[in-house]
Amino acid sequence: MGLMMIRNVFLNHKPGVLVVEDGKVSNFGRQEPEEAGAMVYDGRGCHLLPSLIDVHVHLREPGFEYKENIKTGLEAAAGGGFGRVLAMANTSPVNDNASVTRFMLSRNRESHPHGPFVHPVGALTRNLEGRELSDLSELKDAGCQAFSNDGMPVQDNELFRRAMEYASDLDMLVIDHCEDTYLAGDGVMNEGRISGYLGLKGIPSTAESLQVARDILLAAYLDIPVHLAHISCRQSLELIAWAKGKSIPVTAETCPHYLLWDEEMVQDYNTLAKVNPPLRTGDDVLAMRQAVREGVVDIIATDHAPHAGFEKDEPFARAPNGISGLDTALSLCLELVRDNTLGLKDLVRLMSSSPGRIFGLPVNSFQKGDPADFILVDMDHEWQVNPESMLSRGKNTPCQGRRLRGRVMAHFIGGKEIFSRF
CB of 178 to Zn ion, least distance (A): 9
CB of 56 to Zn ion, least distance (A): 7
Say if CB 187 and CB 208 are below 8 A apart. Answer: no
What is the spatial distance between Cα 174 and Cα 172, in angstroms, rounded to a whole number? 7
Task: Name which of 51 and 209 has its Cβ closer to Zn ion.
Answer: 209
Say if CB 385 and CB 401 are below 8 A apart. Answer: yes
Say if CB 16 and CB 30 are below 8 A apart. Answer: yes
Taking the CA atoms of residue 264, residue 269, residue 272 and residue 276 in that order, the dihedral angle to the nearest 10 degrees is 70
Cis preceding linkage at 398, omega within 30? no
CB of 234 to Zn ion, least distance (A): 19
CB of 229 to Zn ion, least distance (A): 5
Task: Name which of 75 and 253 has its Cβ closer to Zn ion.
Answer: 253
Site for Zn ion in 17-46 (CB under 5 A): none
Site for Zn ion in 156-185 (CB under 5 A): 177
In the residue annotation, 378 being an active-site residue is answered as no
Residue 142, amino acid: A
CB of 255 to Zn ion, least distance (A): 10
Task: Name which of 47 and 177 has its Cβ closer to Zn ion.
Answer: 177
Site for Zn ion in 140-159 (CB under 5 A): 150
Cα dihedral across residues 100, 144, 86, 79: positive or negative: negative
Say if CB 68 and CB 61 are below 8 A apart. Answer: yes
| Number of chain residues interacting with Zn ion (CB under 5 A) | 2
Phi, psi angle pair for 245, to nearest 5°: -60, -25
CB of 192 to Zn ion, least distance (A): 21
Task: Name which of 231 and 351 has its Cβ closer to Zn ion.
Answer: 231
What is the spatial distance between Cα 70 and Cα 59, in angstroms, rounded to a whole number? 6
Tallying the residues shown for the chain, one arrives at 422
CA nearest neighbour of 47 among 77, 18, 19, 75 = 18
Say if CB 371 and CB 53 are below 8 A apart. Answer: no
Closest CB to Zn ion: residue number: 177
Q: 3-class DSSP state for residue 169? A: helix
CB of 300 to Zn ion, least distance (A): 15
Q: How far is CA 255 from CA 14, 117, 201, 363, 422, in A?
A: 29, 20, 23, 20, 28
Rg of the chain on CA atoms, in Å: 21
Site for Zn ion in 69-88 (CB under 5 A): none
Query: Exposure pattern of 334-365 as b/e (b: 16+ CB <10 Å)?
Result: bbbbeeebbebebbbbbbbbbbbebbebebbe
Task: Name which of 54 and 373 has its Cβ closer to Zn ion.
Answer: 54
Task: Name which of 112 and 177 has its Cβ closer to Zn ion.
Answer: 177
Marked catalytic residue, from 96, 303, 373, 378: 303
Task: Name which of 250 and 372 has its Cβ closer to Zn ion.
Answer: 250
Q: Which residues are annotated as catalytic?
A: 303
Q: Which residues bind Zn ion (CB under 5 A)?
A: 150, 177
